[in-house]
Amino acid sequence: MENKSLYISEIFKSIQGESTWQGTPCIFIRLSGCNLRCSYCDTRYSYATGREMTIAEIWATVKNLNLPLIEITGGEPLLQENVLQLMEKLIAEGKQVLLETNGSISVNNVPAGVIRIVDIKSPGSGMYEKMELSNIDCLTENDQIKMVLCGKQDYLWAKKIISQYNLDSKCTVLLSAVYNKFSPGELADLIVKDNLPVRLNVQLHKYMWGANSHK
């Protein structure tokens, strides 16, 4: 298993910024390649092939960074089949593993113990038609659904989706506003006004390190 390889865009240590672990020190493993082209994407550089690394090499890098929380992200990590073996390795080594996935690929085969953070892309992203909505049925109370919203119309769409699929009864629902396009304050006001059973998210790294930051 450890000789199997993946294409990696980058591995780095930062503060987790977009889930219920927000504010927690975290190691990020960003895989290369993505099958979507969201209008607000801020990691387009990850579309490129990246560096080929074996699972053993990835683990050696992660071990040296020395944190218990690891997030596998992209790009879209589930495009690379060997990511499942990487997750199994990290779980076996006692790490808490988060998987952030764009919602277009089934999460049914993700190893037990991995927390699945699954996007449902909004109409404003331009990618809603690509969603694998059967993922909703796979999720447990330990998982999370994330929706990134471009404005009030996306908010109204999210409100409808939450009700239609009873999302809040399945897992934590995270709503966030596209940085510099939709005010988090306006989104917060709408959530409070509607008593929506969600958690407000912000892209914490951008508020700490600037609009061009992805870390």
Q: Is 66 exposed, middle or buried (0-12, 13-18, 19+ CB in 10 A)?
A: exposed
Bridge partners (DSSP) of residue 99 are: 72, 116
The pTM assigned to this predicted structure is 0.94
Q: Which regions in the chain score pLDDT beneath 70? A: 205-207, 209-215
The residue among 72, 87, 77 whose CA lies nearest residue 32 is 77
Tokens of 98: 């988060």
The pLDDT of residue 161 is 97
Tokens of 155: 């908010």
